[in-house]
């Protein structure tokens, strides 16, 4: 067998499904050496194996650990394109993560729900009053999470063009190292300046909270700015893609969309959100790790110094866990999905993402019941080259 | 049913609270898990097992 190359290509006409080659490997070769960035790494495709290894402290998320799968020619570094504690191991990772976990607590996120509902309703009012067709990404999917994360962090929304453009460059896989380093530098300087201002005049927001840690010497101003960059990018790009791609997936499955349009039961909406997270799994380029000690799996040995890739998209389509996995079924219990990853690095912002998606999915299709695509499906540009999957634009009408 | 939580392992994902709010809560200062009862009634068993299953840090152990 020739060595498979990762990432793989989706099948034509199947924009919501993982690449078919991943399914073949999951069934026939659940632990296999692949080529990534021109170097070998292990690919782990089964749900149970992914959960077991992603929770195993013998795997490192630190890009500087030997064997960590990094793009060729990109020096592994913590302070460059890499951002903050997502690329660190415990105990340093836990120390920094715990400085920002409080604002994402379930009860504090719930307290934001009415405000998010107002934002969503306001944007839909504008949409309905404006011209059509309209690009749902620009007019709705991107503004909702951008407004929310700005409020939570204390970032002025007026700067949204700046941070959205730089975030896009940072997570575009086809961007050059120079482009990504420059985009990261722009965001890091911007956040550094903002943290500096909040050191002088703190408000009631997450960045101001971090300035207390800077004053007490637990964090440097640069580290606080780095956390700000991470949360700002992760807080708007991911959810925006789930809103637009989720809407497109629902428009292609009208009987599923009808469930959301007609229910007033929050538990049905919550279940639909979990299923869309499972089915779409927008982080489609796999989580990456380096191995610190030899690990045996399926009769093979993953050696210390080897790299490992975990494509969560195919784990969420593992039929030993989710029956009929390629069917979008908003009524199924999908809560065990690994769309937010697994292990200590699992998404910090997931309670916020869930709440935003619940508000969005329960509102848009009720308020715009005749919502439909304004172009053919094959005219929609999908983010095949993005670290986060989705659509670049989604022209809709009603 | 007996529940043991490990606050050192917890990463404050909050999924236990979503699965079983009568059994799990979060510390105000950092969102780390707090056990409201270590021996809840049997009708909460399914929710508690769900909470343990979705905990990304494997910080919840349930002994039946």
pLDDT at res. A77: 52
Assess if residue A303 is contained within a domain: no
Q: Which residues of A touch B31 (CB under 8 A)?
A: 101-102, 104-105
Question: Do the domain assignments include residue A203?
Answer: yes
Q: What is the C-alpha to C-alpha distance for residues A78 and A186, in angstroms, rounded to an integer?
A: 16
* CATH code of A196's domain: 1.10.630.10
Residue in A33, A9, A36 with CA at minimum distance from that of residue A23? A9
**Could you give the CA distance from residue A197 to residue A205 in angstroms, rounded to a whole number?**
13
Which A residues in the span 49-78 are in contact with B, Cβ-Cβ below 8 Å?
A: 55
Q: Does B14 touch chain A (CB under 8 A)?
A: yes
| Chain B residue closest in CA terms to A353 | B13
> Is residue A166 a part of any domain in this protein?
yes
DSSP H stretches of helix in chain A? 20-28, 47-54, 92-97, 106-110, 113-129, 136, 143-153, 160-170, 177-200, 206-215, 221-252, 254-262, 266-280, 312-315, 350-367
What is the fold, at CATH topology level, of the domain defined by B2-63? Alpha-Beta Plaits (3.30.70)
Ordered by start, the domain boundaries in chain B are: 2-63
Which of B7, B8, B9, B14 is the best mutation test for A, with the most CBs of A within 10 A?
Answer: B14
Convert the pLDDT of each residue in B44-53 to its tens digit. Answer: 999 999 999 9
pLDDT at A392: 96
Decide if A292 is inside a domain: no
Q: What does pTM read for this prediction?
A: 0.96
Cβ separation A343–B57 shorter than 8 A:
yes
Mean pLDDT split into 10-residue runs, chain B, 64 residues: 96 97 97 95 96 98 92
A342 inside domain: yes
Burial class (CB in 10 A: 0-12, 13-18, 19+), A151: middle
pLDDT of residue A81: 39
ipTM: 0.96
Residue A308 lies in a domain: no
Name the nearest CA neighbour of A49 among A306, A297, A289.
A297
List, for chain A, all residue ranges whose pLDDT scores fall below the cut of 50: 76, 79-82
A354 contacts on B by Cβ (under 8 Å): 18
Q: How far is A393 from chain B (nearest CA, A)?
A: 31
A381-391 per-position pLDDT tens digit: 999 988 899 99
Residue A194 lies in a domain: yes
Residue A173 lies in a domain: yes
Q: How many domains does chain A have?
A: 1
Range of the domain at A194: 75-286+325-397
**What are the angstrom distances between the C-alpha of A236 and each of A80, A97, A157, A232?**
21, 19, 12, 7
> How large is the greatest C-alpha to C-alpha distance in chain A, in angstroms?
62
């Amino acid at each position: 067998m020739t060595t498979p190359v990762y990432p793989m290509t989706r099948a034509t006409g199947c924009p919501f499904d993982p690449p078919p080659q991943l399914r073949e490997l999951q069934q026939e070769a659940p632990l296999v050496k692949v080529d990534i960035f021109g170097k070998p790494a292990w690919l782990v495709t089964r749900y149970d194996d992914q959960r077991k290894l992603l929770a195993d402290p013998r795997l490192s998320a630190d890009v500087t650990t030997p064997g960590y799968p990094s793009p060729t020619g990109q020096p592994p570094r913590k302070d460059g394109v890499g951002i903050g504690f997502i690329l660190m191991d415990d105990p340093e990772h836990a120390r920094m993560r715990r400085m920002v976990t409080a604002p994402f607590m379930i009860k504090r996120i719930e307290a934001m729900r009415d405000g998010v509902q107002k934002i969503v309703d306001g944007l839909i009012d504008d949409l309905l009053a404006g011209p059509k067709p309209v690009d749902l990404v620009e007019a709705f999917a991107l503004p909702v999470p951008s407004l929310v994360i700005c409020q939570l962090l204390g970032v002025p929304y007026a700067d949204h063009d700046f941070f959205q453009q730089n975030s896009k460059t940072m997570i575009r896989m086809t961007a050059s190292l120079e482009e990504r380093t420059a985009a990261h530098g722009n965001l890091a300087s911007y956040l550094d300046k903002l943290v500096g201002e909040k050191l002088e005049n703190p408000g009631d927001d997450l960045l101001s909270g971090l300035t207390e840690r800077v004053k007490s010497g637990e964090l440097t101003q640069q580290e606080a700015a780095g956390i700000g960059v991470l949360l700002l990018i992760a807080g708007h790009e991911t959810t925006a893609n789930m809103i637009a791609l989720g809407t497109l997936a629902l428009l292609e499955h009208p009987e599923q969309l009808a469930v959301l349009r007609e229910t007033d039961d929050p538990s049905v909406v919550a279940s639909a959100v979990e299923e869309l997270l499972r089915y779409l799994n927008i982080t489609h380029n796999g989580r990456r790790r380096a191995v610190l000690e030899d690990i045996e799996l399926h009769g093979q040995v993953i050696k210390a110094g080897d790299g490992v890739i975990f494509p969560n998209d195919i784990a969420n389509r593992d039929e030993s866990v989710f029956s009929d996995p390629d069917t979008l079924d908003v009524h199924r219990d999908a809560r065990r999905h690994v769309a937010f990853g697994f292990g200590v690095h699992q998404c910090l912002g997931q309670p916020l993402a869930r709440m935003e998606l619940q508000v969005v999915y329960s509102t848009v299709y009720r308020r715009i019941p005749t919502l439909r695509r304004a172009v053919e499906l094959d005219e929609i540009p999908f983010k095949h080259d993005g670290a986060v999957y989705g659509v670049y634009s989604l022209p809709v009408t009603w | 049913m007996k529940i043991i939580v490990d606050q050192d392992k917890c990463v404050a994902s909050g999924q236990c609270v979503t699965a079983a709010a009568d059994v799990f809560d979060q510390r105000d200062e950092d969102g780390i898990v707090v056990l409201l009862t270590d021996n809840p009634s049997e009708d909460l068993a399914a929710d508690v097992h769900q909470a343990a299953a979705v905990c990304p840090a494997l910080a919840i152990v349930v002994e039946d």
